[in-house]
Chains A and B, each alone.
Chain A
Amino acid sequence: MRSKIRTLFIILSISFFACACSGKTGEEKEQADRTIKRYEMSGLLGYCVDEAGEYLYCTVKGSASVYQYGTDGTFVKEIAVTADAGEEDVQTYVGEDAERANYLTNLCINGDKLYCFRERNGCLLEINVATGEARVCGRLTTIPSIRKMEAHQDTLLLLMYPEIGCGVLQAVLFDLDTGAFTALPVENPIAICAGTEGEYWLEARDAEGIYLQKYTVDTDSFSEQYRTNFTEEMSDIVYQPEENAIYGYIPAQIQYVRLIPEQALVAARFPAQRLYEHACNMMFAGVRLFVYDTFMGNIYSFEPQAYVEDNKPLKGYVLDLANVPDWSGYNIDLEELSWDALALKVLAGDSDYDFVVLNTDMTEALAIRDAMAYYPIPEDRIGRYLQECYPFVREAATYRGDIWMLPVNLYAAGIVYREDNLAEYNISMEDIKTYEDLCAAAKLLYEAGQADRYAVGYPNTLLLKEYIRLNKKEGTVNFDTEEFRSLLDFLKGEYGAGTDFRSSYIHINFMDYQQFYDLDIDVEERQNLIWEAFLKTICFEQVAGSNWDYDKYEGKEGFHVCGVPTFSGREGTSPVMADIVIINPNAPNLDTVLDFVEDMSKNYIANPDRHLSAEEGIYGTDVFDRDVYTLYSQGEIDFALPNELFISYYSYIAGDITDKEAVIEELNRTVNMYFGE
């Protein structure tokens, strides 16, 4: 009996332990080919690829032949097309049009037959690839331009403009056997592609949005409309039968999408090759997707699977959704979490997220850094971007020799001012050395009735952070100084309880725009008027912003920018803040997230005015541009302490606590407790 109980007990315990100890094993991901092949052809008009992906056919300007190439780029043969030589022109063309109209366009393939179109005489031509024989299979008499042609079984589907000068596309089915044209009853078609078994897919737009629809030729019937969740349309689509998936390109977002038509929600978004115009004639040959960039006249091919992360989006956590910029190109799932919960995840080494987005203004970022809970971003991924940034940015991104985060969306604090406007009131920015001077200037303007010509932000947080930044030594901040006492006095006097905010000269309200709203003009015009008035009257403005905020003044005469003066009158600096991306060391999609940061950094490199590029050349030679450059080069990234430490400070300014010495003591205590723990 006893042993029985004991055995039961032991078995139970062991099974429990075994359960607990059984961990999960990670899955190895297959590496798909990420290379992008490019085919350059001068004057490319139309192309197609055979199903096996062996040969590429194309038509070019200046020749009435179809050229056959191997997909490795070797020339195979030229097929001259002369079958329609006897046909009359549909209409007379002149100049460039005439030349273009002469050649073959809209090449497409179905098995061993190629189809193309000659605009001049409206002939649809069928070419036998093996023999090179061609015949006229149909003739359009009124059609000047076909956007896309697809061949499938015994039919051709044409996406075309029905009449000259008509901007509305129409999908027209052409029966190769009977030679009959039938317009399909779909309004506003956008793109077409061949499906399986005598079916075509159509993308169309109506008042409710963009939808996909399947057309079956034999029964002449449409499927139901599969609604997408797209806001922007796909300029072209292609059907991949093995995955039963439709691939498309959204020019507005510079990204490809993959979706299962029956549940027409995005299954994957991916970048790959950027196209400069809408994609044209997307085709699948095996696993490679071919796409024709009409602007550059290039054909690209790549394996979409290498870019589609198996329907797994990137997962990121943020503490504050408001901080998150819109990064397109990846299917990113961002979730807001409290620091408590995120800290637990970080400590537990969870692998359900790829990255965290924080801000340099948060101590939490430092906590993650100090715990080394980051995946060091390889130098070759974002090194170039960091090289282009100011040294202080680079410095902040490096910890123990690792790049621990990617700083993006940098923004710097500064003061924008107009010298001439200030001079009217005998104020010169040269004389403004301290924050008190700035406030005195504001007061002067205020008392002169010019309250709508300047903006001074509420300084309590700013000055406190500045004080800490300038006085922080090895893990301590001393608040028991004359400087801090006078800072408190200043804040209390200018801005604390008892002062009426509405009549306070510390304010961020600009001019009253009511007069413009009374005018009966449209929104854009009104915005312009307001902006003009603003630029004309502004004296100075305290700005904490990104390049965009400074860009809006760019090139405007008479504008200057300088760092925000500090309270104690030390050299004016510009505290710089940034959103930072930290990669989870246990990220489930590590490769993708690394690509993501790399793409992001490349994006910034390509748009140097969007990050604080240290390259002097891009800043222009205006006075204002030089000022911005100087402002940035004075910048400094600082990780702020948690606000919780400063409860007494804020309640002193708000008037809940009156004893100044007690506040200083309390600040010293809490801040040093924070450092000391």
Chain B
Amino acid sequence: MKKQFGKIVAVFVLFLVSAALILPVVFMVCKAAPKDFYLLLIEKFWFYPKFWNSLFYAAGIGAGASLLSLLAAFGLTKGGFRHGKIIFFLLLLLMLMPLQTTLLPNYIGLRDLGILDTRSALLLPMICSPFAIYLMCRYMEGVPDENWEAARLETDSLFRILFHVVFPQMRACVAAVFVFMFAEGFNMIEQPMYYLKQDKLKPLSIITDSMQAGEEKLIYAIGIVCMIPLLFLYGFYEEELTDGLGRLKM
């Protein structure tokens, strides 16, 4: 009886909390009139290019970061670096570094590379995210060494080992990193603001931040449309994500 009661209370509490968390979302959905959607999706031509830009950046960052961090993590954890701890500490440091501070040196770097105001300016730094590498390293540490020791006996090709042995084992984490970085890429604001000049390269996130006059009303509609790809992704990869994050080890 007591247990039953406890469960009811728990569900009730959960409902309340969830309601609190979702309320603004609901509020937003209510605020967006169907007319806004019509305006946004059918009348406004600026919306689609921006939306595709956003998706492109997010997908590119997600895919790139998961691949690169997989390689980097593999190298770092299994490459036999003696000072692994120092590297982890460094990764942690870089991860904690506020974006505002790294903006300037990053900007200088991108400028000297000559890729300012191109798509790569957004993609490259985000692909090399220390957060993704950190996550991947932590996960990779939990996977026993024996697996690739065995694989090494069979083949000498690094690529094969990576593709046939490492990737399947890391699948969950790769998915997690992908979703994580996708969301980051979709929501980034400072980077496109400072690294891009051409309007046609800019993603949607800037628009939602600085609306043209008279279009404030559309903001809710945009918010909802933005949410859809992310929700879709989340729903689709939820298991991998949960799995990937669940096995995180400090």
Give residues in A with beta carbon < 8 Å to B.
1-6, 8-9, 19-20, 22-24, 340-341, 344, 347-350
CB-based contact A5/B107 at 8 Å: no
Give residues in B with beta carbon < 8 Å to A.
72, 74-76, 78-81, 103-104, 107-109, 111-114, 152, 156, 158, 193-194
CB-based contact A5/B104 at 8 Å: no
Q: List 23 A-B contacts (CB under 8 A).
A: A1-B152, A1-B156, A1-B158, A2-B79, A2-B80, A3-B80, A4-B158, A5-B78, A5-B80, A6-B79, A6-B80, A6-B81, A9-B72, A20-B109, A20-B112, A340-B194, A341-B194, A344-B104, A344-B194, A347-B104, A348-B111, A349-B108, A350-B111
By a CB distance below 8 angstroms, the chain A residues around B75 are 5-6, 8-9
CB-based contact B112/A22 at 8 Å: yes
Closest residue of chain A to B161 (Cβ to Cβ) is A1
- Residues of B contacting A: mostly: helix
CB-based contact B104/A9 at 8 Å: no
Question: Once the chains are docked, how many angstroms separate the CA of A8 from the CA of B78?
Answer: 12
Given contacts A20-B109, A350-B111, 15 further A-B contacts (CB under 8 A): A1-B156, A2-B79, A5-B75, A6-B75, A6-B81, A9-B75, A9-B76, A9-B79, A22-B112, A23-B112, A24-B114, A344-B103, A347-B104, A348-B111, A349-B108
B80, B112, B114, B193: the one contacting A340 at CB < 8 Å is B193
A5-B78, A350-B111 in contact; A341/B104 too (CB < 8 A)? no
Nearest-Cβ distance from residue B95 to partner chain A, whole angstroms: 18
Which 5 A-B residue pairings sit nearest by Cβ, starting from the closest?
A9-B75, A5-B79, A6-B79, A2-B80, A1-B152
Nearest-Cβ distance from residue A4 to partner chain B, whole angstroms: 6
CB-based contact A24/B112 at 8 Å: yes
CB-based contact A8/B112 at 8 Å: no
By a CB distance below 8 angstroms, the chain A residues around B152 are 1
Question: Once the chains are docked, how many angstroms separate the CA of A3 from the CA of B81?
Answer: 10
Question: Once the chains are docked, how many angstroms separate the CA of A24 from the CA of B115?
Answer: 13
By a CB distance below 8 angstroms, the chain B residues around A23 are 112
By a CB distance below 8 angstroms, the chain A residues around B107 are 344, 348
Question: Once the chains are docked, how many angstroms separate the CA of A3 from the CA of B156?
Answer: 12
CB-based contact A5/B158 at 8 Å: yes
By a CB distance below 8 angstroms, the chain A residues around B104 are 344, 347-348
By a CB distance below 8 angstroms, the chain B residues around A340 are 193-194
Question: Once the chains are docked, how many angstroms separate the CA of A23 from the CA of B114?
Answer: 10
A2, A341, A348: the one contacting B78 at CB < 8 Å is A2
By a CB distance below 8 angstroms, the chain B residues around A20 are 109, 112-113
Question: Once the chains are docked, how many angstroms separate the CA of A3 from the CA of B158?
Answer: 11
By a CB distance below 8 angstroms, the chain B residues around A1 are 152, 156, 158
By a CB distance below 8 angstroms, the chain A residues around B111 are 348, 350
Nearest-Cβ distance from residue A68 to partner chain B, whole angstroms: 55
Closest residue of chain A to B108 (Cβ to Cβ) is A348
Question: Once the chains are docked, how many angstroms separate the CA of A24 from the CA of B78?
Answer: 37
Question: Once the chains are docked, how many angstroms separate the CA of A349 from the CA of B111?
Answer: 11
Question: Once the chains are docked, how many angstroms separate the CA of A344 from the CA of B195?
Answer: 10
CB-based contact A8/B80 at 8 Å: no
Most buried by A among B72, B108, B193: B108
Question: Once the chains are docked, how many angstroms separate the CA of A340 from the CA of B209?
Answer: 15
Nearest-Cβ distance from residue A5 to partner chain B, whole angstroms: 4
By a CB distance below 8 angstroms, the chain A residues around B103 are 344
By a CB distance below 8 angstroms, the chain B residues around A9 are 72, 75-76, 79
CB-based contact B74/A5 at 8 Å: yes
Question: Once the chains are docked, how many angstroms separate the CA of A24 from the CA of B113?
Answer: 9
Closest residue of chain A to B210 (Cβ to Cβ) is A338
By a CB distance below 8 angstroms, the chain B residues around A8 are 75, 158
Question: Once the chains are docked, how many angstroms separate the CA of A348 from the CA of B80?
Answer: 38
